[in-house]
Amino acid sequence: MSEDNRVLIAGGGPIGYTTAINLAKYGIPFTLFEAGSGISEDPRAATIHPPTLEMFETIGLTPIFLKRGFVTQNYHYRDRRQGLIADFNLGVLKNDTPFPYRVMLEQHKISNIILDNLSEFNNHKILNNHSVQSVRQDDEGVVAIVNTPDGTREFRGRYIVGCDGGRSNVRKAMNVDFEGFEFEERFLVVSTPYDFAQHGYAITNYIADPEEWCALFCVKGPDDNGLWRVVFPNDSTFSEEEIFDDETIEKRLQGFQPRSEPYEIIHRNLYHVHQRVANKYREGRVIIAGDAAHINNPLGGMGMNFGFHDAFNLTEKLNQIWFNNGSEDLLDLYERQRKTVASEYLQAQSIENKKNLERKNQNEREEFFNELRAITSDDEKQRKYLRRVAMIEGIERAKSIA
């Protein structure tokens, strides 16, 4: 087989690696380029939703995810003043999915699990310290112009999949707009080993407040003993130095959950947050997926999952093209299916999640809280609600698009 007859993948994050393992399972050769020296361990996404677990089950990885992560069937919606408002039970989805729960597993662990599994396959390359700078294409394939430790090189392939994040160079090589907006606030993520469960918190919590909403969730962390992440919004007028100040962070954590001892801080990260969807996902042999195609705020844990869904959808279609004489029109179908649900579900739901947390009108807040209480008191109402926020409806909608 020609060395050029392969798929090029830009980006060695969870979506790039998910694309890679699916191609390997199908027997499609690939080369993956990662700009960094390896898999980044920055604390980012960590939620795996039920339909995503179903997808990874088809390639044998879900049992590993269940073993390595926290399996949680419920999550809390809270108010900083009133406490628990609604305790959502994903168990009501037991007839909709074989996995009626979330798994909390950090994205770098997911990528490393996939990397370990790739050792079982041949005919692929993973090139770290290789950054795709631009792409050109012709009727026969694509050429990726890549910065390497030995200078700029060109790599040929049959297709390229850009999984290289919100600032994707692959997307920039396409004639595409990345439509949407950036929130004024930045999101501060603080990680601490302090166990918030002793105060009644669930593994995942969304906590409303008109002045300072927050989110709280737990992952296993580097030693599997548990690491809690607290997310706070930040006024754009403050500098990173002011936001990261030890006393400032301590004051915010004490304001959230007072305790007699200071908090131990393991990580602190600050993120600019956007809501954007590319106006097309494919131009000829150049295709984008994950954050390269859509980005959103992290409330609800939907962005990484949507990227996984992109990867499974796309690679199934590449398999049809590669081995079963499938038409390249299948790549247009990928775009229609995934772009539609990104707009209808990913963007709409994640924007709504943020608006609900930061509501300021007290009457509106109480009305919303009463709606949540009514939902969680009725299993069928809760099932209908959770089918959407657990991303099941989005998968069904994508499948309905021809």
If you average pLDDT over residues 377-402, what whole number do you get? 96
Average of per-residue pLDDT across 47-73: 98
What pLDDT band is residue 2 in, cutting at 50, 70 and 90? low
Cα–Cα distance for residue pair 322/26, rounded to 1 Å:
9
Q: Which domain holds residue 14?
A: 7-72+105-179+275-357
CA distances from 12 to 22, 36, 55, 118, 126 (A): 14, 8, 20, 13, 9
Domain-located, residue 381: no
How far from chain centre, in Å, is Cα 340?
Answer: 17
Which three-class secondary structure state does DSSP give residue 210? Answer: coil
149 in a domain, yes or no? yes
Number of domains within the chain = 1
Encoded tokens for 171: 């997307």
DSSP lists the bridge partners of residue 277 as: 179, 294
With left for phi above 0 and alpha for psi between -120 and 50, is residue 391 left, alpha or beta?
Answer: left
Residue 58 falls inside a structural domain: yes
Residue 126 lies inside a defined structural domain of this protein: yes
Q: Which amino acid is at 293?
A: A
Percent of the chain residues topping a pLDDT of 70: 100
Amino acid 55: pLDDT: 98
**Looking at the predicted structure, is the pLDDT value of residue 23 above 90?**
yes
- Provide mean pLDDT across the span 20-40: 97
**Segment 145-150 mean pLDDT:** 98
Inside any domain, residue 39: yes
Residue 328 counted as domain residue: yes
Question: What is the spatial distance between Cα 359 and Cα 213, in angstroms, rounded to a whole number?
Answer: 9
Q: How many other β-carbons are positioned within 10 Å of the β-carbon of residue 239?
A: 8
pTM here? Answer: 0.96
Q: How confident is the model at residue 285 (pLDDT cuts 50, 70, 90)?
A: very high
Q: How far apart are CA 309 and CA 142, in angstroms?
A: 24
**109 assigned to some structural domain:** yes
SS (H, E, C) 151-204: EEEEEEECEEEECCCCCCHHHHCCCCCEEEEEEEEEEEEEEECCCHHHHCCCCE
Q: What are 194-220's pLDDT values in tens digits?
A: 999 999 999 999 999 999 999 999 999
CATH number, residue 109: 3.50.50.60
The string of pLDDT tens digits covering residues 289-348 is 999 999 999 888 899 999 999 999 999 999 999 999 999 999 999 999 999 999 988 888
Is residue 298 in a domain?
Answer: yes
